[in-house]
Amino acid sequence: MQRKRKLFLLTLIVLIFIMLVAAVVASGKAKKYNFGGRTITWATWWEEAKPVAGRSEREDLRLKREVEVGKKYNVKFDYLTVPWGEFMAKYITTVMAGDAMAEIVSVQTDWFYPTLLLNNFCMNLSELGVFDFKAPKFQKETIDFATLDGSVYGYEIGRIEPRGVIFFNKTMFEREGITDIYDTVFNYKWTWNKMLEVAKKLTRDTDGDGVIDQWGLAGATGRVWRGFIISNGGNFIDISDKWHPRFSLGDPAALEALQAYQDFILKERVIMISPEGSPWDYPVQAFLDGKVGMLVAQMWNIDKMRDNMSDEYGVILFPMGPRMKEYTSEATLHHFKVFPVTVKNPKEVAIVENEMTEPYKVGGELLFMEEKNEEWLEMRVTDDESIQIVQMIWDKQNSIFNLQEAFGVMDIFYTIDDELQKGNSTPQAAVEEYAQEAQMRINDSLML
């Protein structure tokens, strides 16, 4: 028995020794890359993409990593800024000429789909065998959106930039006796009906002249009806089959949302409608002036509140429609990265980018370049609850990409919105009147 035990132990020791030797040999033969001093260029339409020493902790970390990765792979880094209005034309013309505007390009959702994706202007990144798109560093919302027939064509890292929210005037809410709005949201009791109840309390003629001068709800152009549609599980255009996008305002969920939207305007009279000829951000200014209790807007407007608003404000999400059990957040004009299909030696670019996109570890915390975080929010809001609301967008990954602007049908959407606001049509009639024309344009837009 002892002899067998000794023999087993001896065999185990030999196996461990062999494994250690193999590991040492393997490490000595680890593949070393030399990409010949090529330059990896990132293209955006905004200047701030290029890191500047001393501007922020993240940019300093980025520059340090560029040195490390550049030395490891023998590459250099550069940044290209192309004006927004020229960006798509430059992307397409360079690819058609067999070149690429940059190795890595940041594109809007409505640039990427349908034009760039369906016309083979973006590289199939899955085929490179470098990125693990299931890794936590990648944005799930973006990966899902940029997937076609099981392959991934675009990506972004870190937490998605928060977009669609409702700003509310905390001072006005307290003045009107509404003190439990955060509890309502966190306890999942924030519904269309509850929003209507709150909006009615806020909508008032404060000076007795017979004219409403304090409104419960408003939104920059198109924001309110987008909120209703997305929060009920509907959308303007259904891309569940990306090869065959479908005009979907006629779906039951969308029609129910449009009816609620029209009722809030005409029947309940709690939504402020901008005067004819007013600027697109008229409702934003009305909110800043203390004339609106709830403003449906994108999160980037928060700097305006911080810099121009005397009343206290907070952030909540758009309420749930009757078909939903979770909140949503509109993510119009989200940006993410792609490789133009004509990039030379793309696997080299992917290897470098995979290392460049790893999170920075600082004090036990993982940081990503340009990511909005709690510190960013704390500089713009005065309460912890607003930060928790934005964390819900991040944690629950409930951002919805709205492709309303992607298919050349914006004028149709504006017309339907106008008819609903004025009561010229029912939602069913308005949608039926324009559905065929909208679908024809969608079909036409699939061809470059």
Q: How far apart are CA 254 and CA 419, in angstroms?
A: 16
Q: Would the pLDDT of 22 be above 50? A: no
Mean pLDDT in the chain? Answer: 90
Among 3.30.1280.10, 3.40.190.10, 3.30.360.10, 3.50.50.60, name the CATH number for the domain at 164-330+376-445: 3.40.190.10
- Could you tell me the pTM of the whole model? 0.86
CA-CA distance, 372 to 85, in Å (whole number)? Answer: 26
Mean pLDDT of 79-107: 97
Buried b (16+ CB within 10 A) or exposed e, 276-295: eeeeebbbbebbbeebbbbb
pLDDT at residue 29 above 60?
A: no
Long-range contacts of 171-179 (CB under 8 A, 24+ apart): 171/290, 171/311, 171/312, 172/202, 172/214, 172/290, 172/293, 172/311, 173/202, 173/293, 176/201, 176/202, 176/204, 176/293, 177/201, 178/202
Least confident of 44-58, 93-107, 357-371, 431-445: 357-371
Q: Specify which of 209-223, 343-357, 384-398 reaches the highest per-range mean pLDDT.
A: 343-357
Structural domain spans, the chain: 38-160+334-371, 164-330+376-445
Query: Which amino acid would we find at residue 291?
Result: K
Q: Does domain 38-160+334-371 have CATH number 3.40.50.1000?
A: no
Determine the Cα–Cα distance for residues 43 and 56; give it in Å rounded to an integer.
Answer: 21
First to last CA, the chain: 79
CB 228 within 8 A of CB 260: yes
The b/e string for 87-98 (b: 16+ C-beta within 10 A; e otherwise) is bbebbbebbeee
Domains 38-160+334-371 and 164-330+376-445 alike in fold: yes
Determine how β-strand 399-400 pairs with β-strand 329-330: parallel
pLDDT single digits (tens) 177-188: 999 999 999 999
Q: Take residue 15 and report the two structure tokens written for it.
A: 């196996």
Residue whose C-alpha is closest to residue 107's, from 349, 310, 339, 322 = 339
Which of the four pLDDT bands, split at 50, 70 and 90, describes residue 405?
confident
- Reported as a single tens digit per residue, the pLDDT across 326-379 is 999 998 888 999 999 999 999 999 999 999 999 888 776 667 766 666 777 777
| pLDDT classification of 11: cutoffs 50, 70, 90 | low
User: Rounded to 10 degrees, what is the CA torsion of 133, 138, 139, 141?
Assistant: 0
Question: Taking 70 as the threshold, does the pLDDT of residue 17 lie above it?
Answer: no
- Average pLDDT of the residues in 8-26: 47
Is the Cβ–Cβ distance between 302 and 315 less than 8 Å?
A: yes
pLDDT confidence of residue 26: 45
Confidence band of 2 (pLDDT split at 50, 70, 90): low
% the chain with pLDDT above 70: 90
Of the chain, the percentage scoring pLDDT greater than 90 comes to: 72
Token pair listed for 130: 């470098």
Question: Among 145, 182, 104, 98, which Cα is nearest to 387's?
Answer: 182
User: For position 24, what pLDDT does the model report?
Assistant: 42
Q: What distance in Å separates the CA atoms of residue 59 and residue 63, rounded to the nearest whole number?
A: 6
Q: What is the pLDDT of residues 219-236, one digit of tens each?
A: 987 889 999 999 999 999
Q: Say what the pLDDT of residue 397 is.
A: 82
